[in-house]
Structure 1
Amino acid sequence: MTLRLIRGFRTISDDAAHALSGITPIDLDKKGKYLASEEHTQLEIREWIRGVWQTRWKESQRGRWTYKLIPELTEWADCEHKTVDYHMTQFLTDHGCFRGYLFRFRHVNTAQCLYCTDAVETAKHILLHCSRFVEERAQLVALAGSPLSPRGRVAAMMAENPKPKIAWDGAHVIIVTMMKRVRKDELANRSQSEL
Protein backbone atom coordinates (compact mmCIF):
# COMPACT_ATOMS: atom_id res chain seq x y z
CA MET A 1 0.00 0.00 0.00
CA THR A 2 2.81 2.42 0.81
CA LEU A 3 4.42 1.88 -2.59
CA ARG A 4 1.17 2.70 -4.33
CA LEU A 5 0.77 5.88 -2.29
CA ILE A 6 4.24 7.15 -3.13
CA ARG A 7 4.09 5.77 -6.69
CA GLY A 8 7.34 3.90 -6.17
CA PHE A 9 9.07 0.87 -7.59
CA ARG A 10 8.74 -2.35 -5.62
CA THR A 11 12.52 -2.35 -5.12
CA ILE A 12 12.15 0.53 -2.65
CA SER A 13 12.70 -0.72 0.88
CA ASP A 14 9.78 -0.94 3.29
CA ASP A 15 11.61 1.48 5.56
CA ALA A 16 11.89 4.16 2.86
CA ALA A 17 8.34 3.56 1.61
CA HIS A 18 6.91 3.96 5.12
CA ALA A 19 9.01 7.08 5.68
CA LEU A 20 7.89 8.75 2.44
CA SER A 21 4.24 7.80 2.84
CA GLY A 22 4.11 8.74 6.52
CA ILE A 23 2.26 5.49 7.23
CA THR A 24 3.33 3.80 10.44
CA PRO A 25 4.65 0.24 10.03
CA ILE A 26 1.87 -2.23 10.78
CA ASP A 27 3.61 -3.87 13.74
CA LEU A 28 3.87 -0.50 15.51
CA ASP A 29 0.24 0.21 14.71
CA LYS A 30 -0.77 -3.11 16.27
CA LYS A 31 1.34 -2.41 19.36
CA GLY A 32 -0.31 1.01 19.61
CA LYS A 33 -3.74 -0.62 19.62
CA TYR A 34 -2.59 -2.98 22.36
CA LEU A 35 -1.26 -0.07 24.43
CA ALA A 36 -4.59 1.73 23.98
CA SER A 37 -6.30 -1.16 25.71
CA GLU A 38 -3.93 -0.71 28.67
CA GLU A 39 -5.16 2.80 29.45
CA HIS A 40 -2.39 4.81 27.84
CA THR A 41 -3.39 8.17 26.40
CA GLN A 42 -3.47 8.65 22.63
CA LEU A 43 -0.67 11.21 22.97
CA GLU A 44 1.53 8.74 24.89
CA ILE A 45 0.88 6.06 22.31
CA ARG A 46 1.57 8.40 19.39
CA GLU A 47 4.82 9.61 20.96
CA TRP A 48 5.90 6.03 21.69
CA ILE A 49 5.15 4.91 18.12
CA ARG A 50 6.99 7.88 16.61
CA GLY A 51 9.97 7.33 18.91
CA VAL A 52 10.32 3.64 18.06
CA TRP A 53 9.75 4.31 14.36
CA GLN A 54 12.36 7.11 14.36
CA THR A 55 14.91 4.83 16.06
CA ARG A 56 14.29 2.10 13.50
CA TRP A 57 14.64 4.60 10.66
CA LYS A 58 17.91 5.89 12.06
CA GLU A 59 19.36 2.39 12.55
CA SER A 60 18.07 0.83 9.32
CA GLN A 61 20.58 -0.27 6.71
CA ARG A 62 18.07 0.35 3.92
CA GLY A 63 16.87 3.54 2.29
CA ARG A 64 19.99 5.46 3.29
CA TRP A 65 19.70 8.05 0.51
CA THR A 66 16.15 8.73 1.62
CA TYR A 67 17.37 8.96 5.22
CA LYS A 68 19.99 11.55 4.22
CA LEU A 69 17.21 13.66 2.74
CA ILE A 70 14.61 12.99 5.43
CA PRO A 71 16.24 12.02 8.74
CA GLU A 72 13.33 13.24 10.89
CA LEU A 73 10.10 11.33 10.27
CA THR A 74 7.94 13.61 12.39
CA GLU A 75 9.11 16.70 10.52
CA TRP A 76 8.35 15.00 7.20
CA ALA A 77 4.98 13.61 8.31
CA ASP A 78 3.90 16.98 9.70
CA CYS A 79 4.81 18.90 6.53
CA GLU A 80 1.36 19.59 5.11
CA HIS A 81 2.45 21.28 1.89
CA LYS A 82 4.60 18.45 0.52
CA THR A 83 3.54 16.36 -2.46
CA VAL A 84 5.11 13.10 -3.53
CA ASP A 85 4.62 11.77 -7.03
CA TYR A 86 6.34 9.31 -9.35
CA HIS A 87 9.27 11.59 -10.24
CA MET A 88 9.78 12.96 -6.73
CA THR A 89 9.76 9.41 -5.34
CA GLN A 90 12.49 8.43 -7.80
CA PHE A 91 14.57 11.38 -6.64
CA LEU A 92 13.90 10.80 -2.93
CA THR A 93 14.73 7.07 -3.11
CA ASP A 94 17.45 6.98 -5.80
CA HIS A 95 15.35 4.30 -7.54
CA GLY A 96 14.26 4.67 -11.12
CA CYS A 97 15.85 6.10 -14.22
CA PHE A 98 19.34 6.68 -12.77
CA ARG A 99 22.01 4.66 -14.54
CA GLY A 100 23.46 3.59 -11.20
CA TYR A 101 20.12 1.99 -10.37
CA LEU A 102 19.53 0.58 -13.86
CA PHE A 103 23.01 -0.98 -13.85
CA ARG A 104 22.24 -2.89 -10.64
CA PHE A 105 19.48 -4.70 -12.54
CA ARG A 106 21.50 -5.08 -15.76
CA HIS A 107 19.27 -2.76 -17.78
CA VAL A 108 22.32 -0.77 -18.94
CA ASN A 109 25.96 -1.71 -19.56
CA THR A 110 27.44 0.94 -17.29
CA ALA A 111 26.40 3.00 -14.28
CA GLN A 112 28.27 6.03 -15.55
CA CYS A 113 26.54 9.30 -16.21
CA LEU A 114 26.04 10.04 -19.89
CA TYR A 115 27.47 13.55 -19.38
CA CYS A 116 30.07 13.08 -16.64
CA THR A 117 31.98 9.95 -17.59
CA ASP A 118 33.92 9.87 -14.33
CA ALA A 119 30.80 9.63 -12.14
CA VAL A 120 28.08 7.10 -11.39
CA GLU A 121 24.66 8.55 -12.19
CA THR A 122 22.67 8.69 -8.94
CA ALA A 123 20.18 11.10 -7.42
CA LYS A 124 23.02 12.69 -5.46
CA HIS A 125 25.13 13.12 -8.60
CA ILE A 126 22.21 14.70 -10.46
CA LEU A 127 21.45 17.07 -7.57
CA LEU A 128 24.99 18.15 -6.73
CA HIS A 129 27.40 17.51 -9.60
CA CYS A 130 26.03 16.61 -13.04
CA SER A 131 27.17 19.05 -15.73
CA ARG A 132 23.82 18.94 -17.56
CA PHE A 133 22.00 20.48 -14.57
CA VAL A 134 24.08 23.58 -13.79
CA GLU A 135 21.17 25.92 -14.48
CA GLU A 136 18.70 23.88 -12.42
CA ARG A 137 21.14 23.74 -9.50
CA ALA A 138 21.44 27.53 -9.61
CA GLN A 139 17.64 27.79 -9.50
CA LEU A 140 17.49 25.43 -6.50
CA VAL A 141 20.16 27.45 -4.68
CA ALA A 142 18.22 30.65 -5.37
CA LEU A 143 15.04 29.06 -3.99
CA ALA A 144 16.78 27.73 -0.89
CA GLY A 145 18.90 30.79 -0.31
CA SER A 146 21.84 28.57 0.65
CA PRO A 147 24.32 26.14 -0.92
CA LEU A 148 22.93 22.78 -2.01
CA SER A 149 23.23 19.67 0.10
CA PRO A 150 20.93 16.65 0.07
CA ARG A 151 19.44 17.37 3.50
CA GLY A 152 19.45 21.13 3.00
CA ARG A 153 17.44 20.89 -0.22
CA VAL A 154 14.58 18.91 1.31
CA ALA A 155 14.71 20.92 4.54
CA ALA A 156 14.34 24.13 2.52
CA MET A 157 11.39 22.63 0.67
CA MET A 158 9.68 21.70 3.94
CA ALA A 159 10.52 24.90 5.80
CA GLU A 160 7.71 26.83 7.43
CA ASN A 161 8.70 30.08 5.78
CA PRO A 162 6.12 32.72 4.87
CA LYS A 163 5.22 30.87 1.66
CA PRO A 164 6.11 27.19 2.25
CA LYS A 165 3.96 25.84 -0.59
CA ILE A 166 5.74 28.12 -3.05
CA ALA A 167 9.17 26.82 -1.92
CA TRP A 168 8.03 23.20 -2.22
CA ASP A 169 6.27 23.67 -5.55
CA GLY A 170 9.16 25.59 -7.08
CA ALA A 171 11.74 22.98 -6.11
CA HIS A 172 9.35 20.19 -7.09
CA VAL A 173 8.98 21.58 -10.62
CA ILE A 174 12.76 21.85 -11.01
CA ILE A 175 13.41 18.33 -9.69
CA VAL A 176 10.66 16.82 -11.87
CA THR A 177 12.15 18.62 -14.89
CA MET A 178 15.56 17.15 -14.04
CA MET A 179 14.11 13.66 -13.62
CA LYS A 180 12.28 13.85 -16.94
CA ARG A 181 15.47 14.91 -18.67
CA VAL A 182 17.41 12.02 -17.11
CA ARG A 183 14.74 9.63 -18.42
CA LYS A 184 14.64 11.26 -21.86
CA ASP A 185 18.44 11.11 -22.15
CA GLU A 186 18.43 7.45 -21.12
CA LEU A 187 15.77 6.56 -23.70
CA ALA A 188 17.67 8.46 -26.42
CA ASN A 189 20.87 6.63 -25.45
CA ARG A 190 19.10 3.26 -25.68
CA SER A 191 17.64 4.10 -29.10
CA GLN A 192 21.06 5.15 -30.36
CA SER A 193 22.67 1.97 -28.97
CA GLU A 194 20.16 -0.20 -30.82
CA LEU A 195 21.07 1.30 -34.23
Structure 2
Amino acid sequence: MLYGSPCWYTALTNKKLVLKLTRIQRKLAIRICSAYRTISAEAAGVIVAIPPIELQASERKNRYSGVPKSIARGNLMHSWQQKWKGGTHGRWTYSLIPDLQVWTNRPFGEVDYFLSQALSGHDCFRRRGELEESCRRAESPNCQYCQAEDDVEHTLFICTRWQDARTAFLRKTGGIFSAENKVFKVFRVEKNHGIMPITQYDLSSKAKKWRIGDKKNVYIHMSNMSREDT
Protein backbone atom coordinates (compact mmCIF):
# COMPACT_ATOMS: atom_id res chain seq x y z
CA MET A 1 0.00 0.00 0.00
CA LEU A 2 2.91 2.34 0.62
CA TYR A 3 4.68 1.73 -2.69
CA GLY A 4 5.79 5.09 -4.10
CA SER A 5 4.26 6.97 -1.14
CA PRO A 6 6.88 9.77 -1.21
CA CYS A 7 5.47 10.65 -4.64
CA TRP A 8 1.75 10.47 -3.89
CA TYR A 9 1.91 11.66 -0.28
CA THR A 10 0.55 15.12 -1.14
CA ALA A 11 -2.68 13.49 -2.39
CA LEU A 12 -3.53 12.62 1.23
CA THR A 13 -4.84 16.14 1.71
CA ASN A 14 -7.95 14.73 0.03
CA LYS A 15 -10.00 13.24 2.87
CA LYS A 16 -11.93 10.95 0.55
CA LEU A 17 -8.70 9.27 -0.56
CA VAL A 18 -7.55 8.87 3.04
CA LEU A 19 -10.90 7.27 3.89
CA LYS A 20 -10.53 4.74 1.07
CA LEU A 21 -7.05 3.76 2.23
CA THR A 22 -8.24 3.54 5.84
CA ARG A 23 -11.01 1.14 4.85
CA ILE A 24 -8.52 -1.15 3.16
CA GLN A 25 -6.14 -0.99 6.12
CA ARG A 26 -9.01 -1.75 8.52
CA LYS A 27 -9.85 -4.95 6.65
CA LEU A 28 -6.22 -6.04 6.78
CA ALA A 29 -6.02 -5.34 10.52
CA ILE A 30 -9.20 -7.33 11.17
CA ARG A 31 -7.71 -10.31 9.33
CA ILE A 32 -4.49 -10.09 11.32
CA CYS A 33 -6.08 -10.09 14.78
CA SER A 34 -9.27 -12.03 13.89
CA ALA A 35 -11.41 -9.21 15.28
CA TYR A 36 -15.16 -8.84 14.90
CA ARG A 37 -16.12 -6.95 11.75
CA THR A 38 -17.81 -4.07 13.62
CA ILE A 39 -14.53 -2.91 15.16
CA SER A 40 -13.33 0.59 14.25
CA ALA A 41 -10.29 1.21 12.10
CA GLU A 42 -8.62 3.08 14.96
CA ALA A 43 -9.00 0.24 17.47
CA ALA A 44 -8.05 -2.47 14.97
CA GLY A 45 -4.88 -0.61 14.03
CA VAL A 46 -3.84 -0.21 17.66
CA ILE A 47 -4.51 -3.85 18.53
CA VAL A 48 -2.29 -5.07 15.67
CA ALA A 49 0.21 -2.22 16.28
CA ILE A 50 -0.01 -0.83 12.74
CA PRO A 51 -0.09 3.00 12.49
CA PRO A 52 -2.67 4.76 10.28
CA ILE A 53 -1.76 4.62 6.61
CA GLU A 54 -1.46 8.41 6.24
CA LEU A 55 1.07 8.55 9.08
CA GLN A 56 3.10 5.74 7.55
CA ALA A 57 3.12 7.57 4.22
CA SER A 58 4.33 10.70 6.00
CA GLU A 59 7.13 8.72 7.63
CA ARG A 60 8.21 7.30 4.27
CA LYS A 61 8.22 10.78 2.74
CA ASN A 62 10.33 12.17 5.60
CA ARG A 63 12.86 9.35 5.32
CA TYR A 64 13.02 9.86 1.55
CA SER A 65 13.76 13.54 2.23
CA GLY A 66 16.75 12.63 4.40
CA VAL A 67 15.26 12.59 7.90
CA PRO A 68 16.98 9.92 10.05
CA LYS A 69 14.94 6.76 10.57
CA SER A 70 14.75 7.14 14.36
CA ILE A 71 13.48 10.71 14.12
CA ALA A 72 10.94 9.86 11.42
CA ARG A 73 9.65 6.94 13.52
CA GLY A 74 9.51 9.15 16.62
CA ASN A 75 7.44 11.75 14.75
CA LEU A 76 5.09 9.03 13.56
CA MET A 77 4.57 7.62 17.06
CA HIS A 78 3.98 11.11 18.47
CA SER A 79 1.38 11.91 15.80
CA TRP A 80 -0.28 8.51 16.26
CA GLN A 81 -0.42 8.95 20.03
CA GLN A 82 -2.06 12.38 19.69
CA LYS A 83 -4.55 11.03 17.15
CA TRP A 84 -5.37 8.05 19.39
CA LYS A 85 -5.74 10.20 22.51
CA GLY A 86 -8.06 12.69 20.84
CA GLY A 87 -10.13 10.18 18.87
CA THR A 88 -13.79 9.30 19.32
CA HIS A 89 -13.74 5.63 18.25
CA GLY A 90 -12.32 2.64 20.09
CA ARG A 91 -12.55 4.25 23.53
CA TRP A 92 -12.73 0.90 25.35
CA THR A 93 -9.50 -0.10 23.63
CA TYR A 94 -8.01 3.26 24.59
CA SER A 95 -8.89 2.68 28.26
CA LEU A 96 -6.80 -0.52 28.10
CA ILE A 97 -4.03 0.69 25.79
CA PRO A 98 -3.52 4.43 26.35
CA ASP A 99 0.24 4.36 25.69
CA LEU A 100 1.04 3.18 22.16
CA GLN A 101 4.80 3.19 22.73
CA VAL A 102 4.53 0.64 25.52
CA TRP A 103 2.06 -1.49 23.59
CA THR A 104 3.97 -1.60 20.30
CA ASN A 105 7.31 -2.30 22.03
CA ARG A 106 6.07 -5.15 24.23
CA PRO A 107 8.50 -8.11 24.07
CA PHE A 108 5.76 -10.73 23.60
CA GLY A 109 2.01 -11.17 23.64
CA GLU A 110 0.39 -11.93 20.28
CA VAL A 111 -3.31 -11.19 19.91
CA ASP A 112 -5.85 -13.75 18.73
CA TYR A 113 -9.62 -14.03 18.25
CA PHE A 114 -10.47 -14.06 21.97
CA LEU A 115 -7.98 -11.43 23.08
CA SER A 116 -9.14 -9.15 20.25
CA GLN A 117 -12.69 -9.40 21.64
CA ALA A 118 -11.45 -8.44 25.09
CA LEU A 119 -9.41 -5.51 23.76
CA SER A 120 -12.08 -4.20 21.39
CA GLY A 121 -15.29 -4.99 23.32
CA HIS A 122 -16.92 -6.42 20.19
CA ASP A 123 -18.88 -9.73 20.02
CA CYS A 124 -20.11 -12.02 22.88
CA PHE A 125 -21.43 -9.04 24.88
CA ARG A 126 -25.11 -8.20 25.02
CA ARG A 127 -25.27 -4.52 26.00
CA ARG A 128 -26.66 -2.35 23.23
CA GLY A 129 -24.84 0.70 21.92
CA GLU A 130 -21.66 0.28 19.90
CA LEU A 131 -22.45 -3.43 19.48
CA GLU A 132 -25.86 -2.99 17.91
CA GLU A 133 -25.31 -5.63 15.24
CA SER A 134 -23.96 -8.34 17.55
CA CYS A 135 -26.83 -7.69 19.97
CA ARG A 136 -29.49 -8.46 17.41
CA ARG A 137 -29.14 -12.11 18.36
CA ALA A 138 -29.66 -11.43 22.06
CA GLU A 139 -33.15 -11.25 23.50
CA SER A 140 -31.87 -9.32 26.54
CA PRO A 141 -28.85 -7.07 27.22
CA ASN A 142 -28.33 -8.85 30.55
CA CYS A 143 -25.58 -11.35 31.38
CA GLN A 144 -26.42 -15.01 30.81
CA TYR A 145 -25.02 -15.94 34.23
CA CYS A 146 -25.81 -13.18 36.74
CA GLN A 147 -28.44 -11.06 34.90
CA ALA A 148 -26.45 -7.82 35.32
CA GLU A 149 -25.96 -5.60 32.28
CA ASP A 150 -23.50 -7.46 30.08
CA ASP A 151 -20.52 -5.81 28.42
CA VAL A 152 -16.82 -6.56 28.10
CA GLU A 153 -15.93 -4.90 31.40
CA HIS A 154 -18.58 -6.91 33.23
CA THR A 155 -17.37 -10.18 31.72
CA LEU A 156 -13.68 -9.66 32.42
CA PHE A 157 -13.73 -7.82 35.73
CA ILE A 158 -17.08 -8.25 37.52
CA CYS A 159 -19.10 -11.35 36.60
CA THR A 160 -18.93 -13.97 39.37
CA ARG A 161 -18.98 -16.76 36.77
CA TRP A 162 -15.31 -16.08 35.97
CA GLN A 163 -14.03 -15.37 39.48
CA ASP A 164 -11.86 -18.50 39.54
CA ALA A 165 -10.07 -17.43 36.36
CA ARG A 166 -9.46 -13.96 37.78
CA THR A 167 -8.12 -15.45 40.99
CA ALA A 168 -5.69 -17.62 39.03
CA PHE A 169 -4.56 -14.53 37.14
CA LEU A 170 -3.90 -12.67 40.39
CA ARG A 171 -1.68 -15.48 41.63
CA LYS A 172 0.55 -15.01 38.58
CA THR A 173 0.63 -11.21 38.46
CA GLY A 174 -0.32 -9.89 41.89
CA GLY A 175 -2.30 -6.71 42.42
CA ILE A 176 -5.88 -5.94 41.48
CA PHE A 177 -7.35 -7.23 38.23
CA SER A 178 -9.04 -4.18 36.70
CA ALA A 179 -9.39 -2.37 33.39
CA GLU A 180 -6.80 0.19 34.49
CA ASN A 181 -3.92 -2.21 35.19
CA LYS A 182 -4.74 -5.24 33.04
CA VAL A 183 -2.98 -4.95 29.70
CA PHE A 184 0.50 -3.70 30.52
CA LYS A 185 0.88 -5.92 33.57
CA VAL A 186 -0.29 -8.89 31.51
CA PHE A 187 2.43 -8.49 28.94
CA ARG A 188 5.08 -8.39 31.64
CA VAL A 189 4.03 -11.88 32.72
CA GLU A 190 6.30 -14.50 31.20
CA LYS A 191 4.89 -15.91 27.96
CA ASN A 192 1.60 -14.14 28.61
CA HIS A 193 0.24 -16.90 30.86
CA GLY A 194 -2.12 -14.46 32.57
CA ILE A 195 -4.66 -12.91 30.24
CA MET A 196 -4.81 -15.56 27.53
CA PRO A 197 -6.40 -18.29 29.68
CA ILE A 198 -8.91 -15.78 31.06
CA THR A 199 -10.04 -14.43 27.69
CA GLN A 200 -10.07 -17.84 26.02
CA TYR A 201 -11.96 -19.52 28.85
CA ASP A 202 -14.41 -16.66 29.43
CA LEU A 203 -15.23 -15.79 25.84
CA SER A 204 -15.14 -19.26 24.32
CA SER A 205 -17.55 -20.45 27.01
CA LYS A 206 -19.86 -17.50 26.40
CA ALA A 207 -19.76 -18.01 22.63
CA LYS A 208 -20.55 -21.72 23.00
CA LYS A 209 -23.53 -20.98 25.24
CA TRP A 210 -24.69 -18.26 22.86
CA ARG A 211 -24.58 -20.65 19.88
CA ILE A 212 -26.58 -23.24 21.82
CA GLY A 213 -29.12 -20.53 22.67
CA ASP A 214 -29.33 -19.55 18.99
CA LYS A 215 -30.09 -23.14 17.98
CA LYS A 216 -32.84 -23.37 20.61
CA ASN A 217 -34.37 -20.10 19.42
CA VAL A 218 -34.35 -21.31 15.81
CA TYR A 219 -35.97 -24.60 16.85
CA ILE A 220 -38.69 -22.79 18.82
CA HIS A 221 -39.29 -20.39 15.92
CA MET A 222 -39.63 -23.24 13.42
CA SER A 223 -41.95 -25.13 15.77
CA ASN A 224 -44.20 -22.10 16.09
CA MET A 225 -44.28 -21.66 12.33
CA SER A 226 -45.28 -25.29 11.80
CA ARG A 227 -48.11 -24.93 14.34
CA GLU A 228 -49.37 -21.83 12.56
CA ASP A 229 -49.37 -23.66 9.23
CA THR A 230 -51.52 -26.47 10.67
Query: What is the TM-score normalised by the length of structure 1?
Result: 0.90
Unmatched tracts of structure 1, length 5 or more: none
Q: CA deviation at 1:190?
A: 2.8
Residue 190 of structure 1 pairs with residue 214 of structure 2? yes
* Structure 1 residue 182 displacement after superposition: 1.1
Q: Is 173-182 or 45-54 further displaced after alignment? A: 173-182
Q: What are the superposed Cα offsets for residues 11-38 of structure 1, whole Å, 9 maximum, x if unpaired?
A: 1111111101111111001111121233
Distance 1:170 1:157 in 2: 6
Aligned to 1:42: 69
Instruction: Encode CA deviations 1:69-121: one digit per residue, 9 max, x unaligned.
Output: 1111111111121110111111111111212269612221221111222x221
Return the letter of the residue paired with 2:43.
A
Which position in structure 1 is the counterpart of 2:25? none
Question: How is 1:97-116 mapped onto 2 (pairs within 5 angstroms)?
Answer: 97-100=124-127, 104-105=132-133, 106-116=136-146
- Which residue in the other structure is 2:197 paired with? 173
| Equivalent residue for 2:167, pick from 134, 138, 161 | 138
Instruction: Say whether 1:125 aligns with 2:154.
Output: yes
Q: How many pairs does the alignment contain?
A: 189
Counting aligned pairs with the same residue, the percent is 27
Q: Which runs of 5+ in 2 are unaligned?
A: 1-27, 221-230
Taking a change above 3 Å as real, the CA distance of residues 71 and 188 of structure 1, as seen in their structure-2 partners, is same
Residues 141/91 of structure 1: CA separation in 2 closer, same or farther (3 Å cut): same
- Residue 66 of structure 1 is matched in structure 2 by 93
Question: Could you report, residue by residue, the CA deviation over 1:116-142 in whole angstroms, capped at 9, with x for unpaired residues?
Answer: 22x221110011111211111111222
- 1:169 and 1:137 map into 2 onto residues whose CA distance is 12
Max radius of gyration: which structure? 2
Q: What is the match of residue 23 of structure 2?
A: none
CA RMSD of aligned residues (A): 1.7
Q: 2:50 aligns with which of 23, 26, 32?
A: 23
Q: CA separation of 1:189/1:103 partners in 2, compared to 1, >3 Å: closer, same or farther?
A: farther
- Does the 8 Å CA contact 1:70/1:151 hold for their aligned counterparts? no
String of CA shifts for 1:138-158, please: whole Å, max 9, x gaps: 112222200111131212112
| Alpha-carbon contact 1:143-1:171 (below 8 Å) kept | no
TM-score using structure 2 length: 0.77
User: What is the DSSP-based 3-state SS (H/G/I as helix, E as strand, rest coil) of the residue aligned with 1:150?
Assistant: coil
Whether contact under 8 Å (2:186, 2:195) holds in the other structure is: yes
Counterpart of 2:83, as a letter, is R
